Amino acid sequence: MFTDFWNDDWVGIGPLFQNAQTVILDHLFSLSVSHFWDSNGWRWELIRLFLDEQICLMIEAVHLSATANSKWVLLWKVKVPQCIQFFMWLVMQGWVLTNCERVRRGFTQDPMCALCGNTAESL
């Protein structure tokens, strides 16, 4: 399994093909996110052919850097269900609502783990 650049909701705005300004070439339509990223960063020469600047800024906000390239490439290439990849991506972004974060936001009063009752639940 891999994260499909055009068909999966990996940016958080739905499948990117829905935002394409022109028809996406068949040989590019089923490529993974990692195919649009190399050691120099995003392959903007391909991406900008199809997406407007606002969408490109959203893609750029994913913060794949050359130093972090290996962890992102590994994440999108790992053979697990897409829901697991998405959860791992949320964890890597620090966007998982742990009990500590839920307390900070005022959603709950107790930062302890609901399963074992031990220490405050955080990343």
* Residue 85 CB contacts under 8 Å (≥ 6 apart), including other chains: 1, 3, 75, 76, 78
Q: Percentage of the chain surpassing pLDDT 90?
A: 19
**In this structure, is the dihedral angle defined by the CA atoms of residues 72, 77, 83 and 88, taken in order, positive or negative?**
negative
Average pLDDT, the chain: 82
Residue 67: band (very low, low, confident or very high) from pLDDT cuts 50, 70, 90: very low
Residue 69: band (very low, low, confident or very high) from pLDDT cuts 50, 70, 90: low
Residue 93 vs residue 1, higher pLDDT: 93
Most confident of 46-60, 66-80, 81-95: 46-60
The pLDDT score that the predictor gives to residue 6 is 93
Residue 65: band (very low, low, confident or very high) from pLDDT cuts 50, 70, 90: very low
- Average confidence (pLDDT) over 56-82: 72
Kindly report, residue by residue over 42-55, the tens digit of the pLDDT.
899 999 999 999 99
